[in-house]
Amino acid sequence: MKIKNLIPDNTADTGEDHFSTNAETPLRSDAFEKSDDEKILIIQEHVLGILETLGMDLMDDSIKGTPLRVAKMYVKENFGGLHPDKKPKASTFKNSYKYGEMLVEKNITLYSTCEHHLLPIVGKAHVAYVSNGSVVGLSKMNRIVDYYAKRPQVQERLTLQIVQELQKVLGTPDVACVIDAKHLCVNSRGISDISSSTVTSEYGGVFQTEDKKREFLDYIKLDTDFNE
């Protein structure tokens, strides 16, 4: 039986090159026409087909619930950040105390998924901004990172999306982000280099000056482990 190849022959070869035309996640115009429940049913059938093709016994108690578990995880958790309704409400407040230095939220735990192999990206994001009159709740910075991470991603795009969203929320270009993360598509397959990590950065406004950039990077290096 001839199996039809649904993608061009050279696509898999270029999959690890991080091409992108802009900072937007590539979504079709009909991406949200189906409900979450409809998507779960469809994905469940696809996962079942994958496991059956691999030769797994779907009657085994350990694996028979896997298609539904994976489908729910994809729609509700790992890729929940695709849906605009789940975008965090990032309310701003007047900077009434006139704090004029940078504010840094460091070591934000980040879980994402590589869009090339659908394997985990795990790391830390460090975000900073200088207020031009508005401030945002600290937890909202974490929520913005999590929202854009919870989708098929490349790290470069994720870094840009975090910065651009905070620039929009705060009404200032003075936002920066550095992400240091491990990609399991590198660590657990292919070259299988378990020690390497990937660092990306985006500096907006005043953070493009060497002084502010260096100040931000020095904050990131500060020892803030309070568990001892």
Q: Which residues of the chain have a pLDDT value below 70?
A: 1-21, 224-228
Would you say 199 and 214 are in contact if contact means Cβ atoms under 8 Å apart?
no
pLDDT at 12: 56
pLDDT at 60: 96
pLDDT at 10: 58
Strand 152-153 versus strand 102-114 pairing type = parallel
H helices within the chain, ranges in order?
A: 11-14, 36-53, 66-72, 138-149, 155-170, 184-187, 210-221
pLDDT for 31-49, tens place per residue?
999 999 999 999 999 999 9
Q: 202 phi and psi, to 5 degrees?
A: -145, 130
pLDDT for 160-170, tens place per residue?
999 999 999 99
Alpha carbon dihedral 184, 186, 190, 192, in 10-degree steps, equals -90
pLDDT at 75: 97
Nearest-CA neighbor of 178 among 149, 146, 143, 213? 213
pLDDT at 109: 97
What residue ranges define each of the domains in the chain, with the CATH number in brackets? 31-78 (1.10.286.10), 92-221 (3.30.1130.10)
Query: Known catalytic residues?
Result: 114-117, 155, 183, 185
